[in-house]
Amino acid sequence: MARDIQERIKKLIIDSRLPSGASLPTEPELMERLGVSRNSVREALKALQAMGIVEIRHGFGTYVGPMSVAPMIEGLAFRTVAGHYRGEDSLLQLLELREAVETGLIARLAGRVPEADLAELDALVARMEAEAAGAEGGVRAETDRAFHATLYRGLGNLLLGEVLEAFWDAFHKVRTDLVDVPQDPKVTCRQHREILEAVRSGDALRAEQAIREHFGNIRTRLGTPVPAEHSHRSYDR
Amino acid sequence: MARDIQERIKKLIIDSRLPSGASLPTEPELMERLGVSRNSVREALKALQAMGIVEIRHGFGTYVGPMSVAPMIEGLAFRTVAGHYRGEDSLLQLLELREAVETGLIARLAGRVPEADLAELDALVARMEAEAAGAEGGVRAETDRAFHATLYRGLGNLLLGEVLEAFWDAFHKVRTDLVDVPQDPKVTCRQHREILEAVRSGDALRAEQAIREHFGNIRTRLGTPVPAEHSHRSYDR
DNA sequence: TAGCTCAGTTGGTTAGAGCAGCTGACTCTT
DNA sequence: AAGAGTCAGCTGCTCTAACCAACTGAGCTA
């Protein structure tokens, strides 16, 4: 029945063609419209909030959510953390997911990135190099995120870009929570520049190779150069 | 504060290394351990349930969820439905997401699918052909789903497979809800067999081409044969 | 006019009561 | 003794009612 309440609220949004940010009925109004108690309404809204479908602002009201794929980050991240602590190589799997998808996409991107984006990417790599040279401990995560986000913007599919960003966020969140990753700023910069130049040149194979090398580098830094089946043994000896 | 309760329950799962299916404390126990009311506990659990982190069984107990990516289907599907009714080409974007990812993955799959999976795929295509020849109205969705799931199993990354299945499910759910898609069973069969044979032969380019054609066919049936930028104009004239 | 205060609206939290589904042990029948 | 039916108990589910906390905006004050 709780499920039913969620469905009815979703139906309300769909049927009323409510856009993101539109205000939903207040809790008392929903109580009356749906014929259930405040408690049930709130539980349904909490679930919808967790799915990013509605947004709740204390003292202000309830609104239609931004319809982003951001909520799936939390689920993915939790799954990965839980798996990691149970001895699975879930972090590596998440990285492989990113690698597989980005490797597949980079080819169709080669030579098709708009000039404006290329300029922005140039600026981002320059910033990376500045950060790498600085004493702040290497390239900031935000810069790396921006590079990947800008790179795939050229695909012209908003959903695709969001999903890729979600994967990046989940990976980054888990990585910083779990493991202390040594960074080699110079290598990171060089690889990003190579990706950019490969894409600019329009050479799909070169771009693919550049992406693969980049991810290979991250994988090495994760400390799992060998398949998971063998990685534990070394600790037993 | 509600957010805090969720975090503490997640922390409990992580710290106790609870595996999927393990039972969580009962609601009264959580009330005491977290020092909050029953209602707050329940709202937190509802949110975690929506994210697939816990599973609640009436009259039985609360358990650690299956850690699958299934919950993101609902969010994706809702987003797509809402976008569709607001006149966006969200369904096409979802299809393109699948196409982009699968096109990228099929290349690395060529020639590397285990013999057992190939046999299973053969059987699935055979079933498709039987369904296409029958009077039941074409290929069953479940058969198509099984084909794609089995195909990418060979990648050896469970997470990746789950994500692809989630995309498939979301697309299928929305498509059946929104539009009446004409099906040409014979073409569908032929394209799946071509994908299979291409992968078996180890010819990466041929496999990629086969996948692209398959998705091109679906896109055509969706009634959006031209890029989104131009698709609206034709209606204005 | 600028700033403050306060009342009203909205969501957040608590409390207590009773309902509903499931399990497992107990009892009655065969 | 074996089986089926029953019931007590746990579990989560829903409701009611009251109060707390955050935000807005109108009205008051300086």
Q: What is the pLDDT of residues A191-228, one digit of tens each?
A: 999 999 999 999 999 999 999 999 999 999 887 544 43
| Residue ranges, chain A, pLDDT below 70 | 224-237
Q: What is the pLDDT of residue B90?
A: 93
Å from B60 (CA) to D6 (C1')? Answer: 20
Q: Which residues of chain A (10-39) touch nucleic strand D at CB < 7 A?
A: 35-39
Q: Is the CB of B60 under 7 A from strand D?
A: yes
Residue of B10, B47, B86 lying closest to A49 (CB–CB): B47
| Smallest CA–CA distance from A53 into chain B, residue | B75
pLDDT band for B231, please (50, 70, 90 cuts): very low
Q: Identify the three-state secondary structure at position B13.
A: helix
Q: Is A68 exposed, middle or buried (0-12, 13-18, 19+ CB in 10 A)?
A: middle
pLDDT per residue over B32-83, tens digit each? 999 999 999 999 999 999 999 999 999 999 999 999 998 888 899 999 999 9
Q: What is the pLDDT of residue B224?
A: 52
How crowded is residue A51: how many other Cβ atoms within 10 Å of its Cβ? Answer: 23
Q: Is the CB of A120 under 7 A from strand D?
A: no
Q: Is the CB of B11 under 7 A from strand C?
A: no
| Smallest CA–CA distance from B156 into chain A, residue | A93
Tokens of A145: 């995120």
Percent of chain B with pLDDT over 70: 94
- Show which of residues 176-235 on chain B sit within 8 Å of chain A, judged by CB atoms: none
- Which of B132, B105, B82, B28 lies closest to A15 in space, CA to CA? B82
pLDDT per residue over B116-166, tens digit each? 999 999 999 999 999 998 877 788 999 999 999 999 999 989 999 999 999
- Which of A152, A170, A168 lies closest to A160 in space, CA to CA? A152
Q: How far apart are CA A99 and CA A215, in angstroms?
A: 6
Tokens of B206: 């041929």
Residue A158 sits at the chain B interface (C-beta within 8 Å): yes
Q: What is the pLDDT of residue B225?
A: 44
Å from B79 (CA) to D19 (C1')? Answer: 37
Distance between terminal CA atoms of chain B? Answer: 55
pLDDT band for B237, please (50, 70, 90 cuts): very low
Domains recognised in chain A with CATH numbers: 2-64 (1.10.10.10), 71-225 (1.20.120.530)
Residue predicted with more confidence, B197 or A229: B197
Half-sphere exposure of B42 (CA within 13 A, CB side): 14
Q: What is the pLDDT of residue A224?
A: 52
Q: What is the pLDDT of residue A180?
A: 80
Name the minimum distance, in Å, from the CA of A159 to any CA of chain B: 7
Residue A49 sits at the chain B interface (C-beta within 8 Å): yes
pLDDT per residue over B70-127, tens digit each? 888 889 999 999 999 988 899 999 999 999 999 989 988 989 999 999 999 999 999 9
Is there a contact between A64 and A54 (Cβ–Cβ < 8 Å)? yes
Å from A18 (CA) to C16 (C1')? Answer: 38
Q: Is the CB of A40 under 7 A from strand D?
A: yes
Q: Is the CB of B28 under 7 A from strand D?
A: yes
Q: How far apart are CA B159 and CA A88, in angstroms?
A: 12
